[in-house]
Amino acid sequence: MTEHKPVSRALAVPSGRFNRVARFGGLATGLAGRAALGGARQIARGQRPKARDLLLTPENARRVADQLAHMRGAAMKVGQLISMDAGDMLPPELAEIMGRLRADAHYMPRGQLKRVLARHWGDDWKSRFTEFDMQPIAAASIGQVHRAPTVDGRDLAIKVQYPGVRRSIDSDVDNVATLMRLSGAMPRELDITPMLAEAKRQLHEEADYEREGHYLSRFAELLKDHPEFVVPRLHADLTTTDVLAMDYVDGVPVESLVDAPQATRDEVMRRLIGLVFRELFQFGLMQTDPNFANYRYQPDSGRVVLLDFGASRELGPHMAPQFRRLMHAGLAGDRAAIRAAILDIGFFAENTPERHKRLMVEMFELSMEPMRRPGAFDFAGSDLAPRMRDIGMELGSGRDFWHIPPMDTLFMQRKFGGFYFLATRLKARVDLSAIIEPYL
C-alpha cells in the first residue's frame, strides 16, 4: 500500500441494521419532500414539471452522495459502481457529484477501530506491533488501511473492514436501488434483478478478506516472472475475514502521472492494458475493478503496484474464445461477424430492436479503432471517448432497449472502459495492435 493523507474525517460507521434502514428511509422521505416543494413552486409559476427533473437535482444527488459516504459499506460501493458504470447516462453535474463517492470515505474513530481489532486479534493485539498508526493512510467503501510495523520486523499495511458491512450488504443494495429508481436515475422498465443479485454476490465476496488474500497470493504467483509489476505479499497469520495483512508498498497514485514524461505515461498504460489481455486470454482470472486507486507507480524502480484483489473473478472457459472471435472480426472490419460474435457473447438479444443492434456494433467498431491502426494510438489526440459516449447515451435513452448482458461480460466491459479512460486521462500513446497480436 502507499501512503497519502486522507481528506476525510473520523465518523462512526452505522453498523446496526435498523439504524441503516432508518437512514435510507429518512433520505427517501427527504428526497420526496423536496421534490414536492419544488414541484409546487413550478406549478405556481405556471410550469408543468416532470417528476424525474424534480427528483434528479444536484442538491438531491449531493445529499445521496453524502449519506452513502457516511454509511460506507455496500451502500457506498453501489453508489461508486453507478457513478462509474452509468456516469455517461447522468447529467454532467450529477455525475460529478456522484463521482465524489470514488474519493476517500470517512474513517472510523479510534474507539470503534480498536474494538474491531480486539474482536479479531484479541485484547493484547498492540503487543504484536512496534507502532500502529491509528490514522488511516486510505479509506474506501468497505474498509480502511493502516500502516503498522510489527515487532518481528515486518512493515505491513493492515486493511480493516468497517463493522456491520457484511450483515448489511443485501439490504443496502436493495435500498440503494430503490433510491436510484426514486430519483429517476434508472428507468422503471429495466429489470435490474439479475444485476442486484450479482452486486450482492460480488460484495459478499469483496467483504471476505480471507478470499481476497487468496487472490492476492494467486496474482503474486501469476506475475512472479514479470518484474515490471509489484503485488504486496500476504501475511496470513494476521489475516481474518475482516482484517487483511499485506506488505506495505510505497508508490504514487497512477493518476498523478499526468505531468510525468510522455515515455513514462506510455509505458505504464502499455503494461496495464497488456495485463487486461493477459488476464482474459492467459490467466482466466481478472481483477475486475478498474478504480484508479488500485494502481500505484514507483518512480525509483519504474514498477507498477497492483492493489485490491477483492473483486477478482474467475472467467468461464467460453470467455477467451468468444472475445478472440470478436477481436478477429473487429480487426477485419467484418460487420456480419462482429454482429454474430456480439450476439453470441450476449451484448444484445435476438429480440433487441434493429436500431440498437446497429448502435452496439458501431460502438464496438469505435472501440477497435486504436487496435486497427498501426503504431502508437494517441489517446489525447483522439475524439474516440466522446464519440463512444454519444453512442452510449443514445443507447441509454432508448426505453425499448435496456438489456443486461451476462455479468462476466459487464465486468469485462467495465475493466476495458476504465483503462481507456485512464489512458485518455494520462494522454498516453500506446501501440494496442502490438499488445493484442500475440493473443490472437
Secondary structure E strands in 45-101? none
Residue 115 grid coordinates:
474494538
> Sheet of 252-253: strands edge to edge?
229-230, 303-306, 295-298, 252-253
What whole-number distance in Å separates Cα of residue 430 and Cα of residue 418?
Answer: 15
Residue 400 known to be catalytic: no
User: CA-CA distances (angstroms) from residue 210 to 64, 206, 310, 343?
Assistant: 31, 10, 9, 37
Q: Which residues pair with 247 in a beta bridge?
A: 156
pLDDT of residue 56: 47
pLDDT of residue 239: 97
Q: Are 242 and 116 in contact (CB under 8 A)?
A: yes
pLDDT of residue 345: 82
What whole-number distance in Å separates Cα of residue 178 and Cα of residue 186?
Answer: 10
Question: Within the chain, how many helices (H) and strands (E) appear?
Answer: 16, 12
What whole-number distance in Å separates Cα of residue 70 and Cα of residue 11?
Answer: 7
pLDDT of residue 201: 84
* Annotated active-site residue in 242, 266, 289, 408: 289
Q: DSSP string of 144-196? A: EEEEEEBTTS-EEEEEEEPTTHHHHHHHHHHHHHHHHHHHTSS-TT---HHHH
What whole-number distance in Å separates Cα of residue 86 and Cα of residue 194?
Answer: 17
Q: Are 315 and 284 in contact (CB under 8 A)?
A: yes
Q: Which residue has the cell 435510507?
A: 24
What whole-number distance in Å separates Cα of residue 226 and Cα of residue 208?
Answer: 28
Q: DSSP string of 33-53? A: HHHHHHHHHHHHTT----HHH
Q: Which residue has the cell 448482458?
A: 405
179 CB neighbour count, 10 Å cutoff: 24
pLDDT of residue 405: 62
Cβ-count burial 198-209 (b if 16+ within 10 Å, e if not): bbbebbeebbbb
- What is the Rg, in whole angstroms, of the alpha carbon atoms belonging to the chain? 23
Q: Which residues pair with 129 in a beta bridge?
A: 150
pTM for this entry? 0.77
Q: Are 208 and 161 in contact (CB under 8 A)?
A: no
Query: Where are the chain's structural domains?
Result: 17-103+168-189, 253-440
Q: Are 271 and 170 in contact (CB under 8 A)?
A: no
User: CA-CA distances (angstroms) from residue 91 to 80, 98, 255, 396, 420?
Assistant: 16, 11, 24, 13, 21
> pLDDT 10s per residue in the chain (440 long)?
444 444 455 545 444 444 444 444 444 444 444 443 443 343 344 444 343 443 445 565 556 555 555 544 454 555 445 544 444 444 444 454 455 554 445 778 899 999 999 999 999 999 999 999 999 998 777 888 999 999 999 999 999 998 888 887 887 777 767 766 665 555 555 566 766 777 788 888 889 999 999 999 999 999 999 999 999 999 999 999 999 999 999 999 998 999 999 999 999 999 999 999 999 999 999 998 888 888 999 999 999 999 999 989 998 888 899 999 999 999 988 999 998 988 888 777 777 778 777 877 888 888 888 888 889 999 888 777 677 766 666 655 554 445 566 667 777 777 887 888 889 889 999 999 999 999 88
